A and B are shown apart, each in its own frame.
Chain A
Amino acid sequence: MKTILAELNETISARGSIVVMKDGMLVASDVREGVDADRLAALGAAIVTEVGLTLGVREGKSFTQIEIAAEQGKVILVEAGPTYLLVLLGARLEIGPGSIEIRSAANRVAREADLAA
């Protein structure tokens, strides 16, 4: 799974990416120098558990994708089978959750996660 993340980071020049379970547990990560992997994992866990659970109360299902835009970059989370793929991007990248590279990586992560389960 780490190879998938490394390839994705390389292809879209992402600052880092991680895979978290739907309960917030970290599965794999690959981040560039200067990015705090623990903080990225904590963000992933916070979103997945807090937003996921809150939405689940009403709709019975959690989210399929989230995009957080900030001044200096963005965070994208997409559903990948039983897990979520989180990607940290820099400010000037015009990439959204619908990008082919992220979708393709999410599909590969989903397949690996399904096999492992």
Chain B
Amino acid sequence: MAAPFTFGAGFVDRPLTRSLPLGRRRNPVQLISNVFGGPALSALVRKARTKLGAGDFEQAQRIVSKGLETYPGAEALLELELTIRRAQAREGIRSLRARIETDDDPRAYEQIVALYLELGMGAEAKQEAWSYANAHPDLDRPHLMIGEMSLQSFIDGLQARDAHEAYKRLQRAAALNKEAVKPRLLLSELYWCVGADHALRGMSTEIGEFARYDSNLEEVVEQLRSIPEPSGPDIMDGLFERVEVNGELFREPDTWPLHRRSTSSRMDEDRAERALESIIRQGAASELVLLQRNGTVIAHANPGADDDDEDEGGLVDVARIVARTVSRYARDLDLGAFRRCTIESPGGLLAVGEVGGVLAGARWNRGSEAQRLWERITVDLEGALGRGRR
């Protein structure tokens, strides 16, 4: 195969064969413009980094935005954009902390938590919410924040301890603020997911009071009232444990009438998708998927598949089975926490395992030594997601 054509040393940043994101077509006009005019990608990145180093975030962001118009989807620019946003957030957090030190302003805690969440730094957000709760234990907001984050962790990871935390905090938030509907809705979502139908029916009366002033809540109340009367009260501990042992929720969260999806999770998904595509381009695997322990797909990259391919019987299905079945039996047989499952079939190799707190699945069309291939993938994934083992 002929070597890619480039215009000498001064144009090395603009080869005609510069890699583009998967699934995007080359625009010939753009290509010519890139070769004969406009700043090189590396020059843009260098310039933006200099501005970032000098603390001029606004200018750095402007250069990156302009660069993305010329080089849409360029990984170096997208990564730099994230770095700038993180730096901006760190700066914002520093000034908010100063505010807390001078007047212990509760709103400053809330803004810090929001900044961390926007950046997808869930652990830091939770830690900050705890500091908030310790500083202001009689306010409902910090308990609500911890409760909401713990509920999300429970839905994603199916760990009973997260459900306990969510339950405790949301109940406290509801008790501290009798006028607040949000802790009651989140508690109802928790009850919905674990099958605490007795508690759910009780909640319908409380939420019904709020629905008199908010018609959006009528659907929730209707749904709660349609649940058949259970024979006895719920034993929360048992219901939470049942979810962890079964490896699945009693009801899926997307069937809850007010199902929500956070900004931070959307940001994580975009970032994860790009990371998977990049790893596949480097030839480290043919297909990759990242899933929550409950089977929800975070990101999936399969360049060989058609857009309308349902992936029946493919990597996503196998990864879900491993998440649901194999990890549970591993615990039953005193094998401890599940680490990895490698499968060899006439069609190639598949592997599913834990990477940075989520489940990852990989497929190779050919090859052997699944363990070695998997180890390489996990290093790439942890590096790309910035979620190294802790």
Contact = CB atoms under 8 A, between A and B. Distances in A.
Q: Do A and B bind each other?
A: yes
Interface of A: 35-36, 39-40, 42-43, 46-47, 50-51, 54-59, 61-75, 88, 96-97
Interface string B325-337: 1100110111111
Contact of B321 (A54, A61, A64): A54
Contacts of B69: none
Main secondary structure of the interface of B (DSSP, over half): mixed
Interface of B: 312-314, 317-318, 321-322, 325-326, 329-330, 332-347, 350, 353, 370-371
A67 B342 contact: yes
A67 B321 contact: no
Given A67-B370, A68-B326, A43 B313 contact: no
A47 B337 contact: no
Contacts, number: 101
Main secondary structure of the interface of A (DSSP, over half): mixed
Given A46-B325, A46-B326, A50-B325, A72 B334 contact: yes
Nearest to A40: B333
26 contacts: A39-B333, A43-B326, A46-B326, A47-B326, A51-B318, A51-B343, A54-B318, A57-B313, A58-B312, A58-B313, A58-B314, A61-B345, A61-B347, A63-B345, A64-B345, A66-B343, A67-B341, A67-B371, A68-B326, A69-B341, A70-B335, A70-B338, A71-B336, A73-B334, A73-B336, A75-B333
Nearest to B321: A50
B344 A63 contact: yes
B347 A70 contact: no
A96 B370 CA distance: 11
B209 to A, nearest CB: 46
Which of B341, B342, B343 is packed against the most chain A CB atoms within 10 Å?
Answer: B343
Contacts of B326: 43, 46-47, 68
A72 B346 contact: no
B359 to A, nearest CB: 14
Contact of B347 (A39, A58, A72, A75): A58
Looking at B329, B337, B342, B370, which has the most chain A CB atoms within 10 Å of its CB? B329
A47 B327 CA distance: 11
